[in-house]
Amino acid sequence: MKRKYDLIYDELAKQIQEGVIKPGTLLPSEKELTEQFETSRETIRKALNLLSTHGYIQKVQGKGSIVLDINKLNFPISGLVSFKELSEKMGQRAKSHVESLELLSPGPHLQEQLKVHEGEFIWEVIRVREIDKEHIILDKDYLLQSKIPNLPLEQCKNSLYEYIEGELGLSIAFAKKEITVEEPTDEDRKYLHLNGFSNIVVVKNFVYLEDASLFQYTESRHRPDKFRFIDFARRNK
């Protein structure tokens, strides 16, 4: 049997998911929720903590609990962040699945993207990103073995950048990005829950180390309804 605060969490989460409680609005106060659900304030606080942990609300001191927009995740165009960093505020709603990890000899296309010659080897990591039990991103990462000699599967499940910077001691400096809208491929349809969408947003990343050497090429293929692609620009005068 579920505990009282789990049932309250389920009810409030459902209302947020279904749009009954709108993004940007405040949840009722702890006192009001205590009366609504006929329970103790401690039970309400546990339910609110679960909502915060799973990325449904943001607690703001002096204001209360603000409902977050769970349907769209802000994707910074000019930033260089990992999916783990991007999804941390979503808590347990976000998961990664490693579909394959291979060391391979690249064909002409990948040779061109990574500026490598025939005979050199690269790592291919294919991962599916899940949010709210929907597969909405297909990440295809290609990394030079000359820069990343070993790539444990466990690190691919967690964060590549944490491993590269923390374990290998490399410094990731900048990336060049290309964003296009394309028709889904058979691979996209295989891995993603497209739900009838006829286009996907493809973000291609060329990632460089501090010495300006290219070490990673990524194709990040997004279902279009779940993301806002944002940037910040300042006019130079």
Show me where the domains of the chain are located: 4-67, 73-230
- Statement: the pTM of the whole predicted model exceeds 0.85: no
Residue 130 three-state SS: strand
Q: Does domain 73-230 have CATH number 1.25.40.340?
A: no
Backbone angles phi, psi at 2, to 5 degrees: -75, 145
Backbone angles phi, psi at 82, to 5 degrees: -85, 165
Name which of 68, 72, 91, 87 is nearest 21 in CA terms.
Answer: 68
Interval 180-191: pLDDT, tens: 999 999 999 999
CA distance 97 to 11: 28
- Decide the pairing of beta strands 227-230 and 73-76: parallel
Domain 4-67 sits in CATH at 1.10.10.10
CA distance 52 to 44: 12
Residue corresponding to tokens 């165009």? 77
Interval 43-101: pLDDT, tens: 999 999 888 877 788 888 888 898 887 766 666 665 566 666 666 655 556 788 999 99
